Amino acid sequence: MNGSGKIILVTGGAGFIGSHLCARLLERGDDVVCMDNFFTGSMRNVESQLGNPRFQVVRHDVCLPYSMYVDEIFNLACPASPVHYQRDPVATYKTSVFGALHALELADKWGAKVFQASTSEVYGDPHVHPQPESYWGHVNPIGIRSCYDEGKRGAETLFFDYRRTRGARIKVVRIFNTYGPNMNPADGRVISNFIVQALRGEDITIYGDGTQTRSFCYVDDLVRGFIGMMDTPDEVTGPVNLGNPGEFTMLELAEKVIKQTGSASKIVHRPLPQDDPRQRKPDISKASSLLGWEPEVVLDEGLKRTIEFFKGIR
Ligand code: NAD
Ligand code: UDP
């Protein structure tokens, strides 16, 4: 297949979402540079692309500056699971803020488009439900989640200041909980934990009473939204929410996983982590009107595909 001629940098490209994005861009014919320091990512996630002459992997920490020619940058580098982003909170904060700065500087050099993988965490423990982009959020600036939440908020600030002061071609999306194949079994997020526990016949660990809610988006839907957003005209900057508005309690999720795996695992309760948001559900009217984007994969179907993936790597 002839290439598109576009050179696209994906930071965090060896992570869960990044690996799916690299695959889609390569399929479309782009040249892809995957930059990663492998803090949570893995070469296994991109190994099926390694023979492709339009694909390169660069081991680099985005906290340090870098230089190369690019037409577009997708800035995804940052651990996303609370377990991992709290492992070295200073590194997480630096990754978010310096990583955003370095992506913006590189984009500025070449007039490239630059995309920021922001998060529903910018809404914190929200008092507005569902969350529209106009909501400024309810975030603790000094808690154990702050390295991530405030780091991502700081990154958004940099993106919009580069836009205002230098005309940067920015695209900011706020991602709600996403799941699918290539999640690391030790990732610590709820869907991977529940599936791995169910397949191993271990107790399913619900934090707190399990009535807190989340909205889960299947990774293929999310990546379609990323590409749609990057392809919008320059006046479309975001922020735009991307997520599946289907809302479930963690108890409902555990029951679905037990049913689909046919597991004999029992539900046990563990303490609720500090500042764990009570509820989360995206208002996606903006994504729908700007990008014509709607998620297509319902939770039952996405879980089925994700369970198959985890069965394959046991
Ligand atoms: P992930 O942890 O699987 O992937 C992150 C990738 O970034 C990994 O490959 C990791 O090694 C790499 N990385 C981390 N620090 C780095 C650094 N300093 N330099 C270079 N590479 C670095 O997480 P994911 O779920 O794929 O998330 C990707 C992006 O999407 C993140 O920015 C995350 O904040 C955002 N996001 C994800 C979700 C979700 O539910 N998965 C929700 C909201 C936002
Ligand atoms: N959670 C849980 N059991 C687990 C892992 C997570 O009950 O083994 C809960 C967690 O407390 C939170 C929800 O599931 O209320 C989603 O957690 P996750 O870490 O996946 O994402 P986030 O909190 O960042 O939305």
Q: What domains appear along the chain, each with residue ranges and CATH number?
A: 7-183+217-244+279-296 (3.40.50.720)
Ligand 1 atom nearest the C-alpha of 219 is 41
Closest ligand to residue 206's CA: 2
- Span from the CA of 229 to the centroid of ligand 1 (angstroms): 19
- Span from the CA of 262 to the centroid of ligand 1 (angstroms): 31
Query: Which residues have CB under 8 Å from 126's CB, separation 6+?
Result: 135, 137, 138, 277, 279, 280
CA torsion angle for 271, 273, 274, 278 (degrees, to 10)? -100
Q: Do 299 and 249 form a contact (C-beta atoms < 8 A)?
A: no
Structure tokens belonging to residue 118: 């922001």
- Closest residue by Cα to atom 10, ligand 2, is 207
- Closest residue by Cα to atom 4, ligand 2, is 190
Maximum Cα–Cα distance for the chain, whole Å?
Answer: 58
pLDDT digit of tens for each residue in the chain (314 aa)? Answer: 567 789 999 999 999 999 999 999 999 999 999 999 999 999 999 999 999 999 999 999 999 999 999 999 999 999 999 999 999 999 999 999 999 999 999 999 999 999 999 999 999 999 999 999 999 999 999 999 999 999 999 999 999 999 999 999 999 999 999 999 999 999 999 999 999 999 999 999 999 999 999 999 999 999 999 999 999 999 999 999 999 999 999 999 999 999 999 999 999 999 999 999 999 999 999 999 999 999 999 999 999 999 999 999 86
Ligand 2 atom nearest the C-alpha of 204 is 8
- Span from the CA of 290 to the centroid of ligand 2 (angstroms): 30
Q: How many residues does the chain have?
A: 314
Query: Which residues have CB under 8 Å from 301's CB, separation 6+?
Result: 218
Is 148 an annotated catalytic residue? Answer: yes
